Amino acid sequence: MRGLDTRVLLAKTRILFLVDAAAANKQMDKVRNLAEADGWNDAANGFNTVPTMFADEPNLAHNWAEGHHRYNNFDANAWRDKCGKWATEANRCCGLSYEVFSNRFNRAVDRALEQLPPAQRAEATAIAQSFGFETMEQREQAREREAEEEWDDDYGHRDCSHGIAWGCCPAGCGSGPDD
C-alpha cells in the first residue's frame, strides 16, 4: 500500500517524541524526506493522487506533493549549482590533469542523470556540458578517433607522447635518430 512505510515511521516518531524530543526531530526530517520520495516515485509510476495513508496528515500530503512536483518540474538553477560543485570537486582532485578532471566530473554527472526523469535529462545534459561534461556517446567517439589515428611510416605515430607533431616537440621527440 502506497505510503504505508512512511505512515508507520510517522507513528514511531510521535512515540519517540514522548521519550527523546531531539532524536524525534531528527527522525521527523526522515519522515518528510520519505514522503517526498514517495511523491517522486508515485510521479515516476504515473500515480497522481495523494496516497490514502497521507490523506488525513496535511504535512505528509504536502511533502508528497513537493516530491511529485519536483519530479515533473526541472529546477535548472539547482542543477547548475550541483554541476558547479561537482566541477569544483573534480578540479580540486585532478592534479591539473584534464583527463582526471573529465573522468571524475563525467562520473558524477552520469550518476545524477540516471536519477532524473527521462524528460529532464536533455536539459540537464546541456547545462552539464557548459561545465565540461561529455556524454557517453561523445566519450566513445573520442576513444574511436584515438584508435583510428593515422600512422606515419617514418616515425610511427604522427604525434609524440606529448600530443605534439613529430619534430616540433620542445622535449626533442622526433628529432633524434632513436625516435
Each residue's pLDDT tens digit, 115-166? 888 889 999 999 999 999 999 999 998 888 776 665 544 445 566 767 777 6
Mean pLDDT (the chain, rounded): 87
Q: Give me 103's grid cell.
A: 573522468
- Helix extents (H) in 45-150: 58-72, 76-92, 98-115, 118-129, 136-147
